[in-house]
Amino acid sequence: MATYRAGIIGAGGIAGLGILGMHDEEDIGRKKFTASHAGGYEATDEIELVAVADVDEEKLDRFGEAWDLPPDRRYVGHEAMLESEDLDAVSVCTPSYLHHGHVVDAARSAADPDVIWCEKPIAASVTDAEEMVAVCDETDTELLVNHSFRFTEKQRRLRELVRDEGILGDVHSISTQFRMELLRNSTHLLDMLVDFLDARAERVSGYITGENEAVDSLDAGEHVDDAGGGGFVVMDDGTFVTVDCTVPRADSSMTLQFVGNEGKLYLNNDDGEWRYWRLEDGDHVEEDLAEYGIEGAWTWEDDYERAFPNAARHIEALLDGTAENRSTGREATRSLEIIVGFYVSHYTGGQVSVPFDRPLRDVEITSW
């Protein structure tokens, strides 16, 4: 018998139903997918998924059948689940503009979870994100945001090398490129900056393309603000960052190049190339990252799949009291600040300072 009980709000693709484009259409709603919240819980020893909630009854039943949840544990609406269940962990897998309400409701509910595992991005506005963090602090709830790259072994080791062991020295400049859209995809990229640098944006200048591939790929009928874009960011540690997230999915590679006073690092996930050079007497000398404990580049098929079980096991450790939160709401808010900054800069024609003045914290960027 499992030690801990988990429930999921939102019975969509990332919850465990399957995502069109990542999974075969005939498998969606029928197979159990490891790269999902339900798949993560299933991989743990001590957490059992006991309930799911959604407002779409057809989707709810498809999810329940796929993950072996009985009809009386499939709740129409999250309020019913939170009133009826005693839960140790709650996953929030709804569209980003709903995260705020669902996280706040879960933290204050009779279900009384110790951990809330919220999908990225944390919220649609900085005000919402800050309130989510504050309410979870008040209720002594760990808010873990699913920036899943943080739960891959390779990124965790690379973070140690850059942030803790200082293989690059002081990072001067970072150039990045990834596919559109900013909230749906590029939040991963920006979270890597926050994670590696332990820094916060100080000044942002942005451009928004207005293009959104998800409208076609998801057959979405509603308009959202999320789009391709980018710009430059000056972090509060002085690092200068360029961000290009305008590229269509079919043409894109996720690339980052870090330049520091003691070395440089080139990461290209899609083409399978991670390279490191240390700076010695004015020359860059390449070294194999395998010597530092990293074999090969990060891959979608291997590392991304394992990220969800890794995150769920981290939740298990948080519940056991043997770990510190590896992906906090405060850190997730820092990547959201950059995205909102791009939008405000684009529409005002000026640069934006962070932290935002109060009215700018209310700017909402909608996505799925």
Per-residue pLDDT band for 26 (boundaries 50, 70, 90) equals low
List, in sequence order, every residue forming a beta bridge with 74; answer none if it has no partner. 52
Query: For residue 301, is pLDDT > 70?
Result: yes
Structural domains of the chain in order of their starting residue, each with its CATH number: 4-149+306-320 (3.40.50.720), 152-298 (3.30.360.10)
Interatomic CA distance for residues 327 and 208, integer angstroms: 27
Other residues' Cβ atoms within 10 Å of the Cβ of residue 362: 12
Cβ–Cβ under 8 Å, residues 332 and 172: no
Q: Helices (DSSP H) in 72-186: which residue ranges?
A: 78-84, 99-107, 126-138, 153-159
What is the reported pLDDT for 21? 53
Q: How far apart are CA 150 and CA 144, in angstroms?
A: 11
Cβ 219 vs Cβ 275: under 8 Å: no
Nearest to 132 by CA among 325, 299, 282, 330: 330
Give yes or no for a contact between 307 and 155, defined as CB atoms under 8 angstroms apart. no
User: Mean pLDDT across the chain, nearest whole number?
Assistant: 93
Above 70 in pLDDT, residue 236? yes
- Apex CA 253: angle with CA 126 and CA 302, to 5°? 90
Give the pLDDT of residue 29: 58
What's the confidence (pLDDT) of residue 214?
74
Token pair of 79, please? 């309020």
- Give residue-wise pLDDT tens across range 344-356: 999 999 999 999 9
How many Å apart are CA 197 and CA 340, to the nearest integer?
20
Dist CA 27 CA 18 (whole Å): 8
Query: What's the CA gap between 323 and 340, in Å, rounded?
Result: 31
Residue 90 to residue 113: CA distance in whole angstroms: 6
The partner residues of 235 in beta bridges, in order of sequence, read 201
- SS3 of 267, please? strand
Question: In this structure, are residues 338 and 245 in contact, taking their beta carbons and an 8 Å threshold?
Answer: no
- Token look-up 């800050």 returns 130
CB within 8 Å of 320: residues ≥ 6 apart:
46
First to last CA, the chain: 36
Q: In whole angstroms, what is the distance from residue 151 CA to residue 193 CA?
A: 15
Residue 2: band (very low, low, confident or very high) from pLDDT cuts 50, 70, 90: confident
Average pLDDT over residues 291-301: 89
Q: How far apart are CA 337 and CA 341, in angstroms?
A: 6
Contacts of 25 (CB under 8 A, 6+ apart): none
Binned at pLDDT 50, 70 and 90, residue 220 comes out as low
Enumerate residues 6+ apart whose C-beta is below 8 A from 197.
163, 171, 235, 237, 239
